[in-house]
Structure 1
Amino acid sequence: MEWSEKTETVPAEEENTAVVNTAESGLQLTCSVDDMLTYANIHNGAHIVRDICLKNVSETDLDHLLIRISSSNELTEEFKLGIEKIKAGEELHFKNLNVPVNAEYLAALTERSSFRLKVGIYSGDHLLVSETTNVTALAFDQWPGLQYTPELLAAFAMPNHPVVTGMIQLAAGYLEKWTGDPSLAGYQFEDPNRVKSMAASAYAAIQQKNITYAEPPSSFETFGQRVRLADAVLDQHLGTCLDMTLLYVACLEAMGLNPIMVMMKGHIFAGVWLIDGSFSDMIMDDPSQLEKRMSRGIHEMVVVECTAMCAGKSTSFDEAVALAEHNVSDYAVLLS
């Protein structure tokens, strides 16, 4: 799954980088540690410790050192790594260390929690130099915004969730009514119109649930927000533009289609490839590339305003497409 990002350039990830004063032993320690941690990060193989740089600024070789990484709570298990030798003047880097993270602890978090992560360099039991970083662990359903690994927003769609299976079964009923064939066969028909009908059936299935639109907090794309996962949206009958978009793309992906998410200032909506295609990058920040594939002559993609599915609007699928197309063509607000 891909999504089209918006304007301002933001770092893909925020890290704490701290330089410790040189210890008496002549060791200098620099650590790069993510200061924000989510279950989605860990589930997708992210490393909390990006880099440990150890430099021997003394004139003496140092032997048999030990890196020890520990946290102030049960979030991580103690990590140890031996260093046989660091020569005088030598600089060593230890990148993307596999520090064990308690995924069950993260998944159970219902509110953000802060803890301290300590990196220490030891000779035997003697601590030579250390650095402690403050890290925030977010609730399992909290998206931190564009400042932290924005591509992991897709992890909240959850196309394999049982409630999504129920939704696409409902969509198959609409598809059979319209076309005589309920098959959710992805791109096997090699027919863009069939794919568009599938996208419309998912839209109709969600619209049938009469979900009430909820206003997202201000600047949600910068500072993030709590996400209602698919089961919560359908149980509470309440959803923001982000919640509705994630539910919709989950249904599309469960059908075997390639959805996208399009983010603009203060808003997000969805789209789907009408052919079995994708962008070359996970995050596409050129709105013209999106508009090109939507043009009548090419017709490789369609975009959909997901809040149009909410209760009280009675907006047709084609009308929702027109609303989203208008947003895409408005370069004054699209971020690139």
Structure 2
Amino acid sequence: MQGFGEQSSVEADPEEDVPKMPFIHADLSDCFTYASHQNAVPVLRAIEINNVGGLHLENIRLELTANPAFLRPKTWTIERLIPGDNLPLRDRKIDLDAAYLAGLNEAERGEVTLRLLSKDVVLEAQHFPVRLLARDEWGGVQGMAQLLPAFVMPNDPAVSKILLAAADILEKNDHPSGLDGYQSNSPQRSYMLTAAIYAAIAATGIHYAEPPASFEERGQKVRRPGRIIEEKLATCLDTALLFAAALEGAGLNPVILLFRGHAAVGVWLIKRQFGNTVENDQMEVRKALASHEMVIFETTGVTHRPPITLEVAQHALDHRMSEEAAQDFSAAIDVKRARSGGVTPLASHEAPQRPAEDADSGGAFHPLSLPAIPSFNDLPGLTVEEKPTNAAGRIDRWQKKLLDLTLRNRLLNFPTSKKTIPFLCTDVAYLEDRLADGAAIQIVSLPEQNPIGERDETLYREKHGRDLNIGFAAEALKRDELPSPSAGKILQRA
């Protein structure tokens, strides 16, 4: 209770009459390397300005800068921002400084700053910490899983020497010396190519180097094939990437396997790929192994003295692929699938090294002999309709499928509905030929395949002049797949 003569008062909130400033909402990548620039990984995934206060603003600008200057500054001019506006910015093209990223030998911390200014008055500022990785550094599964195939470099000169040695090994063991990939349509041939590459790499005398802790999550520096052969040192990830490069150079489809604290490699024995570039389900790998469509092996077996054989290297991963060890499986990264999505090998800016003559191989062991040609079970086939062998039979089949030539026939007049399944086809004539040949065409969900990944489709098209989805659809058609823009659940219902 107040005393007589006292005046009551209410303390005013000094912030009550102060209008709130606009707020910047931005989604930025937090990790960059030279491979990010080469594969058009966007700096800005999304950005918008929310004018939550009562200010009416005109001719304001948004400035983006970086410290250090690994990207070029950018300024957006906004003519008007009225109270309550929520303005997304569509122009998200930010140019990374390729020379700066290519010159990084060690990782460093950086910061991206966004400032909203009215004339010279700063209305809002946001600071985003980022990791700048060395040119030869991979950032780990969490942030850069899809970019790991960029470090698979089949065009490195050292890989060419390995492939030549593999061809000689094949010839000395009375096998055709051609590195012909899947041209023979024989899983046995694919296996023997893999065995020859394994023997060729084992003969280089590589020694094992311990990888950093949790490299599969945090990433690590990666040695190029030439550096591995020159230094004769390699971690498990280095050897996995080296094998993947040689297998890809021989025309085979390699897969990089990442476990907790370890890496290995696999190879498709038939011309196949996983449904996704990054496959996190261990069961998908186990199914491919059970059907004899793939073999996986321990790549560090070549660093033993003497090297272990390919057969032993295969069994060395049995415990890692068991159901009990499923929690330690991180991912299987399909290199061919990544190439279909536009991830290219890391470009080399290094001068070619002149190989030392008669260099010490680092191991006094006999070259590995090739294993016997394996006998695989017959692979499961697809049941297809038996096609007619003459013109009369084909006409009869067409008539049975197409009798009504009026607009009531949905084969001629197909209205769009909830049951319509759109698809992306880059070569209708080829599709028609495959269907006429009785091929079974599988329709897959383009959003689930996710060929774009963390990259920006528009930026990639502007930089490379190619559409990621169109490129993926062209590759998919070759393996009898039609991508549909529908989401997986919608596609299943349709």
State the TM-score, normalizing by the size of structure 1. 0.86
Q: Name which of 292, 312, 335 aligns with 2:329.
A: 335
- Report the Cα distance in structure 1 between the residues aligned to 2:186 and 2:81, rounded to whole angstroms: 62
For residue 125 of structure 1, report the CA deviation from its aligned partner. 4.2
| Structure 1 runs of 4+ with >6 Å offset | none
For residue 219 of structure 1, report the CA deviation from its aligned partner. 2.0
Q: Name which of 147, 152, 165 aligns with 1:170.
A: 165
- Report the Cα distance in structure 1 between the residues aligned to 2:162 and 2:90, rounded to whole angstroms: 43
- Report the Cα distance in structure 1 between the residues aligned to 2:213 and 2:109, rounded to whole angstroms: 24
Q: Structure 1 unaligned segments of length 5 or more: list them.
A: 1-22
Equivalent in the alignment of 1:79: 74
Residues 11-47 of structure 1, C-alpha deviations (whole Å, 9 max, x = no match): xxxxxxxxxxxx9574111222222221222221111
Letter in 2 for 1:301: M
Equivalent in the alignment of 1:57: 52
- Report the Cα distance in structure 2 between the residues aligned to 1:189 and 1:62, rounded to whole angstroms: 68
Residues 138-197 of structure 1, C-alpha deviations (whole Å, 9 max, x = no match): 111222222312221221121121221221122121222234321112211111111111
- Report the Cα distance in structure 2 between the residues aligned to 1:259 and 1:225, rounded to whole angstroms: 21
- Report the Cα distance in structure 2 between the residues aligned to 1:199 and 1:138, rounded to whole angstroms: 33
Equivalent in the alignment of 1:317: 310
Q: Does residue 182 of structure 2 align to residue 187 of structure 1? A: yes
Q: Name which of 116, 122, 125 aligns with 1:121.
A: 116
Residues 43-62 of structure 1, C-alpha deviations (whole Å, 9 max, x = no match): 21111222222011234543
Cα 1:83/1:24, change in 2 over 3 Å: same
Q: Name which of 215, 222, 226 aligns with 1:227.
A: 222
Letter in 2 for 1:188: Q
Q: Structure 2 unaligned segments of length 5 or more: list them.
A: 1-17, 331-494
Equivalent in the alignment of 1:29: 24
- Report the Cα distance in structure 2 between the residues aligned to 1:306 and 1:147, rounded to whole angstroms: 23
Note if contact 1:48-1:96 (Cα within 8 Å) is conserved in structure 2.
no
Equivalent in the alignment of 1:14: none
Equivalent in the alignment of 1:247: 242
| Greater per-residue strand proportion | 1
Letter in 1 for 2:273: S
Equivalent in the alignment of 2:130: 135
Note if contact 1:49-1:95 (Cα within 8 Å) is conserved in structure 2.
no
Structure number with the bigger relative contact order (C-alpha 8 A, sep ≥ 6) is 1
Cα 1:290/1:179, change in 2 over 3 Å: farther
Equivalent in the alignment of 1:5: none
Aligned Cα root-mean-square deviation (Å) = 2.1
- For the residue of structure 2 that corresponds to 1:268, the secondary structure is strand
Equivalent in the alignment of 1:307: 300
Equivalent in the alignment of 1:198: 193
Note if contact 1:303-1:325 (Cα within 8 Å) is conserved in structure 2.
no
- Report the Cα distance in structure 2 between the residues aligned to 1:274 and 1:146, rounded to whole angstroms: 26
For residue 311 of structure 1, report the CA deviation from its aligned partner. 4.1
Give percent identity, aligned residues only: 33
Cα 1:316/1:95, change in 2 over 3 Å: farther
Residues 203-248 of structure 1, C-alpha deviations (whole Å, 9 max, x = no match): 1111010101112222222222222121111110011111100100
Q: For this pair of structures, how many residues does the alignment match?
A: 312
